Chain A
Amino acid sequence: MENNSLQQTPLISLKQAVKRYGYMQALKKVDLDIYSGTSVTIFGPNGAGKSTLLKVLSMQCRLSSGELLYNGTPYKKISDDFRHKFGVISHQLYLYSSLSAFENLKFYGSLYGISNPEKKGEELLKQLDLYKRKDDLLRTFSRGMLQRVSIARALIHNPEIIFLDEPYTGLDSLAAQKLSTIIKQQIEENKTVIMVTHDIETGFFQADNLLIMDKGKIVYNRQKSSINIDDFRKEYMSVLGVEAAV
């Protein structure tokens, strides 16, 4: 991130960001710059503020105070159309169980103004090995299959920034492998990928930048190239005040 800062305006920038839910402060004066084409993984214990940070970055919720900028423009001045750049994959599926996989993709494709959502939907379902089940209602799908449809939903409009909130939750090994392949593919296509996860191994290998959050603050922010996974695991444990397992 330090090298990039000399070259360009951050794609997403948070300045002194505070998010409160009633008396609870989920984000405490967070500063963060994310550059286009980078892959960022956010680690942290439960309740650290990771998902809130992701929701703020993807404009799903409003900051209580502080600034959120996209390419240097305050998000309040950004049009609805800007959200076309966002794709969100979460442990929440964002799907309709009484529609088929194909109908779900067609519906979301039409909301994103895709010219031919049917074709794009079919392509994604083929890529995710779900084409044979495309006309089946989602209520007949397993959790892993649903998550694959959810991945297709998030990617149907070819987003530039992909937000992943605990995307591996409840996935079988096939679905997890598919998801890893797709994330890798998106990174190779120079997309910006921002992921929240507890899984150190998966999160570490898919990241350019590693963040650790604790109690609403970013307590660690480094480039992956400067650290190996074992050292990172030790640092993660020490940041959280836990002895690393040998």
Chain B
Amino acid sequence: MSYFKVIAAIVKKDILMEVRTKQVINAALVFAVLFVVVFSFTMEIGSNMEQKLSGGIFWVSVAFAGILSFNKTIGSETDNGSFEALMLAPVDKSAVFFGKVISNMLFLFLVEVILIPLFLVFYNVNIIGHPLMAVVIILSTYAYSLIGTLFSIISVRTSSKEIMMPVLFLPFMVPVIIAAVLATNVFILGGQIQFSYNWIKLTAVFDIIFTAIIYGIFSLIIED
């Protein structure tokens, strides 16, 4: 079976399971919405401070929602040992991994799509006000999903998986979160667009490097 067909089969299966159970979206969305709404009440509506912080609030809420989402999607693979069955299949193991990354990315996109109008209502901020913001969202969400999926797979085999996942994931994601927040702030606060380019490039380089590394060593990680 070709590499991309394996990815498509995994994504199709994950979407079907999520449509039935809604457990990933429910967990991630409730947390993200609460986080965004509660923070909105700590600041004066439409204030300068609120605008300055909204980029940070958006990306931190996505990061934490991601932790819940990744644990759920990988947990559904390990509940009945299905992940072992996937590793037994005569397919490239990294294709299975990237299938899970894309599933997680789609679920996070859905959370983001719901959060964006909330920022308009509660913070008076249009997160997606500039077309380049779509690039920031795609690159950063991919980075979240890539690293989040990897650490979920690693931590799910440990006895303290709920703690292990954020402990591994969040420090690793610091450069991506900073880059995403600063690039988003350029668009929200109306700065010069070229100031966002370096942050976008940083995220793109992060994505490329870690995609290549994980593609190369995933089967070694998973076999032990």
Contacts and interface: CB of A to CB of B under 8 A. Distances in A.
Nearest to B20: A98
B224 interface: yes
Interface stretch (A38-46, A88-96, A118-126, A197-205): A88-96
Contact of B81 (A61, A80, A82, A92): A92
Given A92-B81, A95-B80, A99-B17, A62 B224 contact: yes
Interface of A: 58-62, 80-84, 86, 88, 90, 92-99, 103, 107-108, 110-113, 137, 153
Q: Lowest 6 CB-CB distances: which A-B pairs, in order?
A: A92-B81, A94-B85, A84-B90, A83-B90, A111-B89, A113-B1
B57 interface: no
Contact of A107 (B9, B92, B93): B9
Contacts of B81: 90, 92-94
B86 to A, nearest CB: 7
A111 B80 contact: no
A99 B9 CA distance: 14
Interface in B151-168: none
A14 to B, nearest CB: 16
Interface in B50-86: 76, 79-82, 84-86
Contact of A94 (B1, B17, B84, B91): B84
B194 interface: no
Contacts of A99: 13, 16-17, 20
Nearest to A95: B80
24 contacts: A80-B90, A80-B92, A82-B90, A83-B88, A90-B81, A92-B80, A92-B81, A94-B81, A94-B84, A96-B76, A96-B82, A97-B80, A98-B17, A99-B13, A99-B20, A103-B16, A107-B9, A107-B13, A108-B85, A108-B89, A111-B1, A111-B9, A111-B90, A112-B90
A81 B85 CA distance: 14
Contacts of A103: 13, 16
Contacts of B76: 96, 98
Interface of B: 1, 5-6, 9, 13, 16-17, 20-21, 76, 79-82, 84-93, 223-224
Given A80-B92, A93-B80, A103-B13, 11 more contacts: A60-B84, A81-B90, A82-B90, A90-B81, A94-B82, A96-B76, A98-B20, A99-B17, A111-B6, A111-B89, A111-B90
Contacts of A82: 90
Contacts of A95: 80, 82
A137 B20 contact: yes
B81 to A, nearest CB: 3
A59 B85 CA distance: 12
A61 B220 CA distance: 10
B223 A61 contact: yes
A153 B92 CA distance: 19
Nearest to B76: A96
